A and B are shown apart, each in its own frame.
Chain A
Amino acid sequence: MNDILKGRYIPGDSFLHRRNGTAKLLAFFMILAAVLTTDSVPGYLLIAAVSAAAAAMSEMRPTKTLGQVRHLRLFFLMLFLMNAFFYEDGQAGGLVLWSWGIVHLSVPGMIQGTHVVLRILFLMVFCNVLIRTTPPVQITTAIETLIAPLRLIRVPTAEVAMILSVALQFIPVFAQEADLIKKAQTARGAKFESERLRDRAASVVPLLVPIFLSAFRRADDLATAMEARGYGHRQTNGRGRSQRAAVQLPDVCLFLFSCLFFLVQAAR
Chain B
Amino acid sequence: MKMSYVKKSVLTAACIALCVVLPMAFHAIPNSGSVLSPMHIPVLLCGMICGGPFGLLCGLAGPFLSSIITRMPPMAYLPGMMIELAVYGLVTGLMMQLVHTGKIYADLYISLIISQLAGRIVAGIANALIFSVGSYSIAAWAGGYFITAWPGLVIQLLLLPTIVFALERARLIPVRYPKQR
Contacts and interface: CB of A to CB of B under 8 A. Distances in A.
A touches B in complex, CB < 8 A: yes
Contacts, number: 202
B134 A197 contact: no
A124 B76 CA distance: 7
Interface string B27-55: 00111100110000110010000000000
Contacts of A204: 26, 29, 32, 36, 159
B13 interface: yes
A31 B131 CA distance: 17
A216 interface: yes
For chain B, give the interface size range: 35 or more
Contact of A193 (B30, B42, B133, B140): B30
A174 B18 contact: yes
Interface in B58-92: 61, 65, 68-71, 74-77
B13 A227 contact: no
Interface string A167-192: 11011001100110010000000001
A145 to B, nearest CB: 16
A124 B75 contact: yes
Contact of A232 (B5, B21, B25, B75): B5
Interface string B6-31: 11011111101110111011100111
Nearest to A215: B14
Contact of A171 (B11, B69, B74): B69
- Looking at chain A's contact residues, is the secondary structure mostly helix, strand, loop, or mixed? helix
Contact of B141 (A82, A88, A159, A211): A82
17 contacts: A86-B137, A87-B136, A116-B132, A120-B131, A124-B75, A136-B69, A160-B57, A162-B9, A167-B17, A167-B65, A174-B14, A208-B159, A208-B163, A212-B45, A212-B163, A216-B170, A222-B10
Nearest to A134: B68
Contacts of B170: 213, 216-217
A232 B134 contact: no
Nearest to A79: B131
Interface residues of A, number: 73
Interface in A122-174: 123-124, 127-128, 131, 136, 139-140, 159-160, 162-164, 166-168, 170-171, 174
| Residue of A116, A170, A218 contacting most chain B CB atoms (<10 Å) | A170
Contact of A223 (B6, B69, B141, B151): B6
A197 B11 contact: no
A205 interface: yes
A171 B154 contact: no
Given A163-B16, A168-B65, 17 more contacts: A5-B69, A8-B71, A83-B134, A102-B136, A164-B61, A167-B12, A167-B17, A175-B20, A175-B21, A175-B25, A192-B32, A193-B32, A197-B151, A200-B155, A213-B170, A227-B6, A231-B6
Interface in A73-93: 75, 79, 82-83, 86-89
Contacts of B11: 216, 219-220, 223
